Structure 1
């Protein structure tokens, strides 16, 4: 059986880097390379477990690069796969928002994306669906339940943005932003959200149905933008063991006290803080209150974030890498990846630390991305 032999790199194993080789046989990491293995010289490079992105929604810009300007979902997915691999992301949970809004986050777009995933066929990475279900989207409940039953949804997020949007309707700029995303006039959007909010009493029962279906299917659940301890308790009772983007440190601390994973955005780390003025991810990660970083709205930030954490001097790069590989894999129930031990899935990223820049990605033991200077490192 042919395979790969990555030689001369600094390999992350057992929580530290050491000079050594890495062998890939079939879909897995192996103890020794097979005869006839293709060789990649990784001298001067880092050999790391592939990035696992538990929440990324930058594919929305491939679907709609400008308000009202759309492209076919199949084209957007192919472009997204290429971008993800170039960023070292070998497992990606697309954060697909299933909202009551028309347009980019609508039920129609959800259905088109599900169809496009079938149309494009196998992609060169593990592409999964993180359904970000808006609480008031009662008309889409049957689609979401069907997606869970069919195994099309791999992670269920409980979103509830309607109350915050309602508070912003008096701000003409904010109203225009939401209306533009939905392809409506401001007055049309105002009428729509008021009709949606009128059905608010139906939300708890619908949410409970979703949670029960996800639990029965073994799908991890997370809550999104928890503002208070009461919010976290509500979703904890529903079975959501991941706390995503907590809006206050106390919420993150409460989640960790209950043994739950806490997710924040890699852009928050790279930019030095939240663009919304919420909690800052880097110091919380250093204190163990944030356990997972996600790309959120910017794929490249996921690779950059652990290097940024290491530059702060409180976590080593090896420690910071767990935030973007081993920890998200474990939280998503993917026990076969996130480390470079023999028998693990062969998801590997080779990085030039001077950038940092991805030179090569291997997914399930096969080369999925090779930059030009990686090709020059191939040896007979």
Structure 2
């Protein structure tokens, strides 16, 4: 089919996914088994902290599969410079598959580097704090942590492997952040569906993508609180397994093939405010989700339930909790302008959204959430101060 006769993206529906997903307690001990069919000269990427607690099992697993252990250090930010550095190391080492061990930043850098070098890539998340592990895109930031661009790839990871004991051993705040990221999936997917907008997969949402986004939402409302209690004691329970799958796989499939809208665009906008740089991705996304509900004029009971639930999860839903105030006019305007950039996903909302609309909605959540929390007997927001 020639380019002139191709069906436009706006007229097709499509869904994409990783080639294989593996999850379970102790799963990292089988990394070599699942990695061997993908490549023979893997390049492992992790920071020193992650390598300190996975190295023994990884080395043992790769050795049993007759694979070499060649590991390099991730420098901390998925910037264009870091992607270029990793891509160069792939060429130097003659690697045929690159493996990310760690959180979303490591994973985004590794996916982009693997694509740039023309090899396959594998993600091994050690926390369930984002839905990055399963997707065919990376979020690229400046060296200072400001959002710059999405990079899209022609395929998803060949393997996503999640050891739920590693997730349970991490601070519960990581899992809570993943809940914040995943809760946005359904809110954005339903907005994208209403708008007949194009998804990150390059077409209209499929029924499957939208259904998985809704399933992620339902699983989290039922299981997030008991799962968080379990991981505070480093335990893997059925609730933990469900939340890890919702945060990682269901949300990953749901956002990519169901669609992104205002919540993640507002997250991107918040990266333009230095006060928020120490916050986790999912914490900023949660502010975006609540702001999207305000923009939509969502029913008051839906907003009330969302604020109460996310407060109990431990997610921010006020400006105070992300280091901003309603009087920070210049900062909030810059956030709104960045979120409303022509190429960002806020334009997948089923109505026009202006910079003024976003600024007003952001300012409104402070009094709104405080009132809901007070009436529910929930804690008052605490001021967040970013570490220098």
- Please indicate, yes or no, whether the TM-score normalized by the shorter chain is above 0.5: no
Between Structure 1 and Structure 2, which shows a larger proportion of helix residues? 2
Between Structure 1 and Structure 2, which shows a larger proportion of strand residues? 1
Higher RCO (CA-CA < 8 Å; seq separation 6+):
1
Which TM-score applies when normalising by structure 2? 0.30
Q: Which has the larger radius of gyration?
A: 1
Which TM-score applies when normalising by structure 1? 0.30
